[in-house]
Structure 1
């Protein structure tokens, strides 16, 4: 395992598993793609339109390339209302015999307060990000280690899945990962240049003056104390909190979501120079694949990436306990 660092030199909050010599492979004897509804997908129609993509507040990390804001035009598509759940991924594995990359590698990254494994299976901390532990036996079916099971979290997002694993699932369902532009357009839920899917303020205020939480992120002092004000230490069920204007759940926080694009920070400058860009598929090269949405570990003291415009990346074979995906289809 190795670690990723945020642009300001502090370790970022997502784990990064480095591939061994033999990567996971898609089972060649794969059944024909199933209809989306049969595969457990509830999705919504996203209308065609043009939107301003990027950070209008200029508050992201400069090295992430969230600016300049540029206009993007997209055709209509359909998108999952939630990230793919453990139950849906289990159906895929049962039907195909697919073996994820974390299973092939034998280890994956688990947040230190969430580990459920024998002490002998904890192989050490990730260099530079000591809150991530390299845990033998951690994979999608055992997201926190050998003493955990997806069956206890059937309605939670599947995690410990690489970009390659997500593509294998998409091939089975006949769907695709969203492009980064599709993801941001849909995640905004129709709000123009808002900071979050619900508006510009992180918290609402209840009648008694207490904070109303709209997403699953870290509260307290990271990475040692989580006050659990939003009730969750790690993943929340995929339909927790209120949906955005299009009916999509948790596009801020809970788990990072893989997108189809390669990550290249200067790409937005290229788009802005071209004027309105139609259906961008991202750059042809990059230093990893795009991740969007932030996770339950994000905190504004070091990882302010649960904003709608925020971007990050990881290598396609990486997996961790806070990284999942959702899928799209043409209407």
Structure 2
């Protein structure tokens, strides 16, 4: 874990989407947060020890399974609910978590993230803590690394490069996630705060109208959910520019692009 010093920072943004407004001062006390999202290997150890059964495996929302965004057919990529899909088979029934051990665990719900955190003696970060950590000590910048999307003509995060959802520079094959710490850390030594997977926070909120979004699915529940932060591998410059610390969405069900990391009080 990395220690995030207590400080005041500019939270939110007036330059992108309504749900991020207004930009305003916010403060955090010193806390700790995981350097990376929880990986498949880490989550597998938790399940081995505790016997935890995830929301997707229990089938609390219309039968066991989860939402997978992929090129299912010859055309554009899209969301589909896949019966029986879970973290153990993250991108189809023929796939296995242990073939991508160092990728972020996905197809986990808010309660699964909370259960893991409690087992690890940690907790989920609040939205304010998460954004403070993601900014890496920078003040008022659009991105976790500064005010420009690219550095040396390269985007330093795992996002969708191409014309979402029709074409993808990285290819059509799953997985769309990448191993954690595939890019440089931010100023606080944290990896993947932007892109790769959205991350659950401890903060609850009612749904808000936020379009266009890479989180829009036909199975979204119009109810209070957990605030997710950081954007994912589905965020694209032509569609959903939520690969930024200020970006926020509401998560309600397990999907192939939501994971989490843990936080803890300083002690």
2:91 and 2:174 in contact (8 A); partners too? no
Question: 1:17 aligns to what?
Answer: none
Question: Secondary structure at 2:154's aligned position in 1?
Answer: strand
Maintained 8 Å contact 1:203/1:213 = yes
1:15-30, aligned counterparts within 5 Å? Answer: none
Distance in structure 1 (CA, Å) of the matches to 2:84 and 2:166: 24
More off after superposition, 251-260 vs 297-306: 297-306
**Distance in 2 between residues matched to 1:302 and 1:264, nearest whole Å:** 23
Quick one: distance in 1 between partners of 2:78 and 2:158? Answer: 18
Deviation of 1:219 (Å) = 1.1
Q: Which residue of 1 aligns with 2:186?
A: 244
* In the alignment, structure 1 residue 89 sits paired with structure 2 residue 43: yes
Q: Which residue of structure 2 aligns with residue 218 of structure 1?
A: 160
Displacement after TM superposition at 1:45 (Å): 0.6
Q: Which runs of 5+ in 2 are unaligned?
A: 209-222
Q: Which residue of 2 aligns with 1:51?
A: 9
* Alignment correspondent of 1:161: 108
Partner residue of 1:61 out of 17, 30, 33: 17
What does 1:146-295 correspond to in 2, within 5 Å?
A: 146-205=93-152, 211-228=153-170, 234-264=176-206, 287-295=224-232
d(CA) in 1 for partners of 2:159, 2:92: 22
Give the match's secondary structure for 1:212: coil
For residues 45 and 171 of structure 1, the distance between their equivalents in structure 2, rounded to whole angstroms, comes to 19
More strand by share: 1
- 1:166 is displaced (CA, Å) by 0.4
Kept in 2, the 8 Å contact 1:102–1:138? The answer is: yes
Instruction: Tell me the TM-score normalised to structure 2 length.
Output: 0.87
Name the CA distance, whole Å, in 2 between partners of 1:221 and 1:320.
Answer: 22
How far residue 292 of structure 1 moved from its aligned partner, in angstroms, is 0.3
Q: What do residues 143-175 of structure 1 show as CA deviations (whole Å, max 9, x unaligned)?
A: 112111110111110000000110111111110
Bigger Cα displacement from structure 2, 76-85 vs 196-205: 196-205
2-structure distance, mates of 1:198, 1:232:
27
1:264 CA displacement: 4.7
Distance 2:163 2:106 in 1: 24
Where does 1:31-50 land on structure 2 (aligned, <5 Å)?
43-50=1-8
Measured on the aligned residues, the alpha-carbon RMSD in Å equals 2.1
TM superposition shift of 1:311: 0.8
* Matching residue of 2:220: none
Question: Could you tell me how far 1:232 is from its partner in structure 2?
Answer: 8.6
- Work out whether residues 216 and 232 of structure 1, in 8 Å CA contact, stay in contact via their aligned partners in 2: no
The structure having more radius of gyration, on CA atoms, is: 1
- 1:70 maps onto 2:17 in alignment: no
Q: CA deviation at 1:233?
A: 6.0
Q: Verify the 8 A CA contact 2:12 2:21 in the aligned structure 1.
A: yes
Equivalent position of 1:98 in the other structure: 52
Runs of 4+ residues over 6 Å off in structure 1: none
Task: Show the counterpart of 2:243.
Answer: 306
Instruction: State the TM-score, normalizing by the size of structure 1.
Output: 0.70
Alignment: residue pair count: 245
What displacement does 1:137 show?
2.3
Asked if structure 1 preserves the Cα contact closer than 8 Å seen for 2:77 and 2:166, the reply is no
Q: Name stretches of at least 5 consecutive residues in structure 1 with no aligned partner.
A: 1-42, 120-128, 206-210, 267-285
Q: What SS class does the counterpart of residue 329 from structure 1 fall into?
A: strand
1:109 aligns with 2:67: yes
* Residues 260 and 289, structure 1, Cα contact 8 Å, conserved in 2: yes
